[in-house]
Amino acid sequence: MDYRILGPLQVVDAGTPIDIGSRQQRALLALLLLDRNRMISTDRIIEALWPDDPVGKERTLWVYISRLRAILEPEREAHAKSRVLVTRDHGYSLVVEPLDVDVGRFEQLIAAGRRLVRSDPPEASRLLRDGLALWHGSVLEEFAYEDFAQAESVRLEELRLVALEDRIDADIRSSRHREVLGDLEKLALEHPHRERIVALLMIALYRSGRQADALRAFGSYRGRVGDELGIEPSPELKLIEEQVLLHDVRLAPPAERAAVEAPGSAANPFKGLRAFGEGDTARFFGRDRMISDLVRRINSGSRLLALVGASGSGKSSVLGAGLVPALRKGAVEGSEEWPIAQMVPGSRPFRELEAALLRSRLDAPESLGYLLDDPEDGIMRACLRLLDDPSGRVVIVIDQFEELFMLGASPSERDRFVRNLEVALDDAHHRVLVAIGLRADFYGRPLEYHRFAQLIGEGIVNVVPLTPDELEVAAQEPAAAAGVVFETPLMVQLLTDVAGRVGGLPMFQFALTELFERRDGGILTLEAYEQMGGCSGVVARRAEDLFLELEPNEREAAKQLFLRLVTIVEEGAWGRRRVPASEIVTIAADTVTLQGVLEKFGRHRLLTFDRDDITGGPTVEVAHEALLSEWPRLRRWIDEGQEDVLHRARLAVALAEWTAADEKPDYLLSGE
């Protein structure tokens, strides 16, 4: 027998529906099926079937039981005990195999499907579809309003909705995001307060290229639950909004994630304003002599390498795409086995270092925070925790070391961090190697620490502009790999404009990036270069052109955005600032407007999008400090808004200290 309750009550035998009898008799079978394989007392059955007139119904119940036995076991001999509808003490039990009831098959299929949603989405979708196909209406449709059916009906309908969400989730993971939009939009109307549906709708819209609609879906939901329920969306849903806003690669379909580099990215061999990283080794040229010098210094016993140069001199690229890959390839004896932790200090240098150290080994411990809490030996102890071989070394690469001295890190944490570095670098066994990139205009700040100043003096490496020959190699080699060539007059003009120019590398790379986008077939032309305004004007011109294309409300959002991406130290020096999306979304009431600004500037590589190594949340940052100095409009905004930027930076420091102190009241103004 096949029992069906996911719709009208049915009993099917060998494909043929069976007549169960009167409505009351059908209600009895429905009740027994809801509590299958469990004893239901006679009193409970009578109360459920005849709630208004229970007196004297025992004999009527017995008649119904007898008829059901005859229907469900037509071949049972007279007076033989029933094996299906069994009499228990003061009650009855319907004995059935779990898979003989459609509910059992449904629950089995969806459980199997849910286990595979992440690992095998197509198979998960198939199983979940098969389970959902067992439904032919609402649970026990004709008894939907009976009290005895309410609890199980609610449970199964919720299970059905969850299974439908899981099936849509599996389809989205299988890159069928466009196909599910209709289902999701219908579900969103039917269940306006159900957050998971909104999350799935936002992801499907984003993957379908409808980022603005995804943000509108979030805004509508936020307004609805705020007005009607007085609540805020969950942190998980807010994170999806942030990921949509900043084009987080984790929202891209799995098959596309490896190829996604940034919003609007193409197969461009040049980096724009972004620094070269470890994954760019194959297109990083021109710094062979400097990399060889760094390796030689390490072989000679250097403990600290301090790459000092002007903003735009290429320090970050030498570290990330030069030194680190060289060490991984064994340029120094045994270095291929050394853990390498790469970080920028940010406002939480110890937490950033912990995250970097944990990333440096696949079998790293769960935490190093308890070691890093030591006032002097924390970094040394954490590094030793990572070493299996006492003769090994841990490499700490700290890019943008100047961030320690900007408003963000508290003075006490900065002092402790530098002291910890001094202790680690003074290790008699040289088990810690530190390489830093430091902006030249901040060179005096670490010299305030006597021992650290000595170490910098021993390990300083001046990062000077590339020679014309090096610049030509840096341009020609990636271009050749991409199948394009330079007009000879163009290369001559490029070298004339950039050679010897301090901090000119970002503009050089940005000009190459723009030239590739404007190539004539496979040729990069002088005409296109001149139309761009040359190296000197290309960054400012692109930024200004993009700004002028914005609508008035977008322009105001752009101004507020860029001012959030700047930090200023007490002396008035400025720098770029990585900002979490959770802060960015507060800039404009209309996130769709903000998204348009981010998309335009991100597509042209003036903004970069990444994720916080500690929280995992998406972040946005000016692609290079060159934009802050080259774009006159932005410089004017910074000059006009210095006080506001300083105030916000100081507030951020105070907030970080309060948070680090477990939000103790002592850190708050008392009002007295």
Helix H, strand E, coil C: the string for 109-156 is HHHHHHHCCCCCHHHHHHHHHHHHCCCCCCCCHHHCCCHHHHHHHHHH
Q: What is the pLDDT of residue 261?
A: 43
pTM of the complete model beyond 0.85: no
Question: What pLDDT does 500 receive?
Answer: 80
Q: 274 near 605, Cβ under 8 Å? A: yes
Pairing mode, strands 523-524 and 340-343: unpaired
What is the model's pLDDT at position 90? Answer: 86
User: Dihedral (C-alpha) 417, 423, 429, 435: value to the nearest 10 degrees?
Assistant: 40
In this predicted structure, the answer to whether residue 334 has a pLDDT above a threshold of 90 is yes
Is residue 570 predicted with pLDDT exceeding 70?
Answer: no
pLDDT in tens, 351-403: 999 999 999 998 889 899 999 999 999 999 999 999 988 789 999 999 999 98
Q: CB neighbours of 97 closer than 8 A, spacing ≥ 6?
A: 104
Q: Is the pLDDT of residue 255 over 70?
A: no
Contact of 122 with 54, CB cutoff 8 Å: no
- Rounded CA-CA distance 473/508 in Å is 13
Please name every residue paired with 415 in a beta bridge, in sequence order, or none if there are none. none
pLDDT band at 503 (very low <50, low <70, confident <90, very high): confident
Q: Is the pLDDT higher at 643 or at 639?
A: 639
d(CA 289, CA 506): 20
CA dihedral 651, 621, 326, 420 (to 10 degrees): 0
Assess whether pLDDT exceeds 60 at residue 262: no
Is the confidence at residue 473, as pLDDT, over 90?
yes
Contact between residue 167 and residue 128 where contact means Cβ atoms under 8 Å apart? yes
Q: Rounded mean pLDDT of 241-254?
A: 85
The 3-state DSSP class for residue 574 equals strand
Half-sphere exposure for 628 (CA within 13 Å, toward CB): 23
**What per-residue confidence (pLDDT) applies to 216?**
94
Q: Say which residue the tokens 């692609």 belong to.
A: 623
Q: How far apart are CA 311 and CA 623, in angstroms?
A: 12
Tokens at 602, concatenated: 């991100």
Element (H, E) at 562: helix 552-564
CA–CA gap between residue 358 and residue 385 (Å, rounded): 11
Task: List, for residues 299-318, the tens digit of each pLDDT value.
Answer: 999 999 999 999 889 999 99
Average pLDDT, the chain: 90
The average pLDDT across 3-28 equals 93
Instruction: Report the candidate in 597, 592, 558, 620 with the shortest Cα–Cα distance to residue 219.
Output: 592
More confident: 506 or 257: 506
Q: How far does CA 79 lie from the centroid of its chain?
A: 68
Q: With pLDDT > 70 as the criterion, what percentage of the chain qualifies?
A: 93
Are β-strands 607-611 and 618-622 bridged in parallel, bridged antiparallel, or unpaired?
A: antiparallel
How many other C-beta atoms are found inside a 10 Å radius of the C-beta of residue 56?
A: 9
Task: Report, as an integer, the average pLDDT of 40-51.
Answer: 92
Cβ proximity of 542 and 514 under 8 Å: yes
**DSSP output for 240-281:** HHHHHHTT-GGGS-HHHHTT--STT--S-SS-TTSPP-GGGG
189-219 pLDDT, tens digit per residue, is 999 999 999 999 999 999 998 999 999 999 9
Cβ–Cβ < 8 Å for 141, 8: yes
For residue 642, pLDDT over 90 is answered with: no
- The arithmetic mean of pLDDT across residues 95-121, rounded, is 96
Using CA atoms, how far apart are residues 13 and 402, in angstroms rounded to an integer? 79
What one-character DSSP code corresponds to residue 402? G
Task: Name residues whose C-beta falls within 8 Å of residue 671's C-beta, 6 or more positions apart in sequence.
Answer: none
* End-to-end Cα distance, the chain: 80
Collect all residues with Cβ–Cβ distance below 8 Å to 574 and sequence separation of at least 6: 566, 567, 568, 628, 638
Q: 557 pLDDT exceeds 50?
A: yes
Banded model confidence at residue 56, pLDDT cuts 50, 70, 90: confident
Handedness of CA 157, 162, 166, 169 (dihedral sign): positive
Stretch 490-514: mean pLDDT, rounded? 90
| pLDDT reported for residue 160 | 97
Spell out the residues 6+ positions from residue 551 whose beta carbon is closer than 8 angstroms to its own: 593
Residue 632 has pLDDT above 80, yes or no: yes
Neighbours of 227 (CB within 10 A): 8
- Per-residue pLDDT, averaged over 287-291, amounts to 96
User: Strand ranges (DSSP E) for 264-370?
Assistant: 304-309, 340-343
Q: Is 68 helix (H, G, I), strand (E, B) or coil?
A: helix
Q: What is the pLDDT of residue 150?
A: 93
The pLDDT tens digits of the residues spanning 571-582 come to 666 778 888 888
3-state SS, residue 347:
coil
Cα distances from 592 to residues 523, 553, 595, 598, 638, in angstroms, run 38, 11, 5, 10, 25
> How many alpha carbons lie under 13 Å from residue 596 in its C-beta half-sphere?
18
**Range scoring the smallest mean pLDDT among 122-126, 453-457, 585-589:** 585-589
Q: What is the pLDDT of residues 407-436, one digit of tens each?
A: 667 888 999 999 999 999 999 999 999 999
Burial class from Cβ neighbours inside 10 Å (0-12, 13-18, 19+) for residue 228 reads: exposed
Please tell me the distance from the alpha carbon of residue 641 to that of residue 568, in angstroms, as a whole number: 11
